[in-house]
Structure 1
């Protein structure tokens, strides 16, 4: 029962035999023996390498290479080949050498291929042709001679085509499957069948007194199936809920209509197209295919056969009245749909009509196959990207379509199709009817396409389109059309998690009444159409549903030789996802290498995570991590790797974790380094224009590129475009950069406050979301405790106001001040900090020790203070030395508010992190809190990894250590401080994602308490930073959260101090608002909820 789910140990002799099969393409016959292994060992290792196994000759087993084609491709080839003449067969065999074989590239892995996959395909075609035409007397002996008749899908294809060739009807399957059993090519694997036969034989032997096989000793005690996955990671089946809520026919939302009154098109103003043609949306640079017209593309009999089963799906129970003049038309959905906003138990599933009629829908397969073939021939890049993106379980009849919209006698008003995959095209065909007119017109092209029965139009469904008038509508007319497409919602994280939970339930059903005693489990083993995904058995229960879903999303893309972007909110465990992916890849390809590129400060975090989860079975024999220093240990590891590359030692897989600065040196040392997988942590760095790091990475021959980022969009939407284009180069060929920038500009215009741009922004937002869904796994939500995020507008003391006026801190003056490095943030921290900064020194508030400021000799600096400034600075030092701390603190609004927050947290016996961007502020905060006898520890960007690790441990274990002061931009990365549930952002950066990273040090997995964030905003420079932040957050929400958002206007922000629901906080806000600073101004002016600084539009 565990075969296909677990891995067993493999002998070196068996490894050698399988290496030969994999590299040479020759078959091998093996027999069970002590040197080779038992059947379980043979089948497990064969299946792991994706080779095929046949149960002949008698007592032995034949190992064959992996089949380098998808099942549907092989079926189509065999159909053509068996019906071709000898000349046509020769032409087909020659053409095999002109195409690509991505499955072959994946299955061969790091073995050197000594044969061309076309040779193997040619042998299969020749055998199939012989079998189909062979006399009955010759067929039976073939069963014992040819291993092809023992492996799927060749045996099913051969038998199916022989039945057709002999005129024997193919019996329909009794199940509700849309495909007859003879064509269910993703049946249980041959290896699993052999294992099942072996289990039966063992059962017979045991019941008749035979000796059973001795169980291999386990490395650890068995795991009960109920403990294999964590709570919430397994599908719960509520039959009552399914009965009452699943049938939601008609609630599919397929149109986007942007007018209260239906707009109908006439042929006036449109050129009627009647000949085969291709159209682009523009001339020259940035053009893209938007329409391909193929008159007579599908045989009429194929169309009408499909119409017989599809037409009943079109009913008036739908939400499409706005595109039919206010009355529901006859229309319906066939296939799969995403009911993400409906109260269904299963959000992503087949429609009601499909579920009730799967058996009948098999008659539409020829139509779908024909449309899929036309699509692949006439728009190959769109088709390829759609094949990469579509989840296997949503493929209709093995095509790139998940969904069919059926329209009957329906002249649609102007609309766009909502939720279609934007890197692909919709495929429209009329399949039945008698009518004149009713052409499909696309407004932007000013073309109307004549569509009769059998005509086909591939087109960009995001363009406004509708039907022209019907000629002679008073005469009874009939018209049935279908649009085939991929629903992007089926690739959402909601659907991925739902599918993952379903697969987990199937695995547990397979393991019922057993214990999982093997160290590794294939968590995709319940569905043979999915690529294998191996995880340590003891680790599976520690993987959250979102992590399992992300893993499933990634391996489906890597199986199809594509990369992807994993955009998960900080703290959801991206590093563990990546390490588990590495484990699975090395399990399948033990000799492969993996490159992980990460910022230098995070390297130790990867090492810590590897060590942490190693206790749960996540072992890597060769995990090489370095910050680029020529340490002895690192050099020894590199020398060991060099020996393996030179064949001085057996080659074993390595994982290299290095930083970008060291990458060039690494690649110079190891020329022709070819990793199987490349992972870039904090991958938004790849999106920067003119990035040297990207140039270095592009020189590596590696298609499997995974970008990890909680913040894939930092400043503008073009960054996301470059990221997606980097993980899959084909994307930019269907959506040119110029067109994407136009979409981004529409969003930016609304985000920056132009309400008149709302319509264009919504259209652009929907397009970008549908475009990226196939390549970006997004999970921006989390199941963490509540997050309370506040903007605290702090007042200024009389001294601060004096310097503000002196410096002229208007918005214009702010820009000038930035240029001369007289930073207003020093003034907002404290007047002493400002005066010390411009005099080029910081005076210790306790001992008189002078700390030099971080300075650049090239920048101008006031070296001499005015006499009054010198006196003030000395006065401030005296206040501290005389322990007149309140008087010192009251000279700054931000410092006063900060100290009161710290004292409140201390009284509650909780912990606090304070983030600041600037050394001067960090120093002053640390010394002030120390003077107040608050136990404080500071970690700066220049501190060693060892110091950071000790700080993390000390902060977690020492109850007396209340406060950590951290550098925002550097120390924020790669640290886990969930011991704190209060976070203060003493100052903010222009990029809100920097602040988000800082908050995620406390607000992440393993946080058990609600977290409160205090963003201290002064009346000087911070309000301009805030304005920049809110614009970028609005953009981030538009694109990644799918919420049309803009920055709030000043009069839209509401002070929440008085209506704060938490009584203790309400009292605290009131106290701060009545606290006076030097000069009698208030310490706290306003309190706002940070999320309200960005407004979402309906």
Structure 2
């Protein structure tokens, strides 16, 4: 074919029918995309391959469906030349609809799959009465139906959150699983709880419970959010400890069951005995490995519907997405082998880039009915200036043992001191004991113990996706030694790190270095040293590693980022170890907010304590 244009002009050329068709009277074969018919919410489309005098068999059409090269040998018709530009254009058009090939067999497609097509997109289809009907339907198509929010929901959903709720309800009506892949901090939990409230009302008097599987760090967040936004839902939390074995008997009497990924592997056989209305995976990237035990376990849970929540549906490779999709809608993307061949083509040469681009478009369109993702910048107008989120940090096993031993020792010592001197004269002893317990919650190394820290692990779980996005993060702690431990760990992980404490001499230079750092970076800040006088508006994420005695000081820390000049929503995370003095101090803060509003630091906190508060802080529960 390359030499043919250079042939001698004077010679006479003879050949068989195929040679004649390819070279003597060349006619390129090209596909015609045809709308074949439509229904209320669907239409069908196929690729017609026609060339005068050429009869194509079913085997020929099947071979053409995936063909992209210029010359193709068909099983029955022999060699043909394709109009490669027309073929590529047709592949792109079908990819936009989520169709894998240029099939001659009509492919049925949901109307929402074509809702994004503009006039140039519609022109790719042959003009026909059916195509005109499709144009009219698309003009009248209003998208996913809106659903009235249940009156039992105690929250005002932002516009994009209401859209997310409608999307989840639509999935239920279509009997599909789904992936809610909104950016971190956009309220996936609230949208899901609203949907579960609707699901309970829809399923009548005997609704099945729903099961949420999440990381241990957000286990109790689900309970708290449900109590706040959907208090009519009865929530049962199954956490580590022997008590959960008896609690499982109560599953049918609750609306929402919450457990974590680590326990699921142990409890799978028991959980399989219960029918669930929905199984919901929070932080669904936990099942990104198709062969992992946790992935195999979640697929064995019986449920009417499956939902995955994740801010990072694609972490390292496309197969992550296959694994999550195969959980929510088994078989939807085919086998792993089919997925790799279709969406990760190994094409080489000049056509490779186009093949990969079309494959990505095809995958994006294929997932459109099941996946909803909104980025912060897309919904910025609906967001508040500041979002504050509590993140629970479970202590490691050795860390918890150390904590409990210190709690018992401190309790005995503090209560004896109070009995002898009275509460007013014992505040130094009380604060010293509380500080030591809080240090253990931060990291056992702060009290000279070599155990690992569950809180530090949770921090880096939180940081990983933020840094991958290129974000800058402020991390506050009141313990300078803790900041140094974090600095060492950040350096080990090759994270760009800056630090400011009371010992820092050139404060403004350090701040400027952070502000001008072109990489994703972490700024470690001492709560006392950096609480005032700094403006760090190029970071929109703040982590309070350990809770301070007074909420006003924490608010000042968050304000380092949330200042005039900040154009993005500030997301502030409070890391709290549940079941420890950290959580109890936080709860007392909520109750006594007014009492200590005008007094900063530990002195104000200590002055506000009663004997009952003291008993509560040092209780072993």
Q: Smaller-chain TM-score range?
A: 0.3 to 0.5
- TM-score normalised over the length of structure 2: 0.47
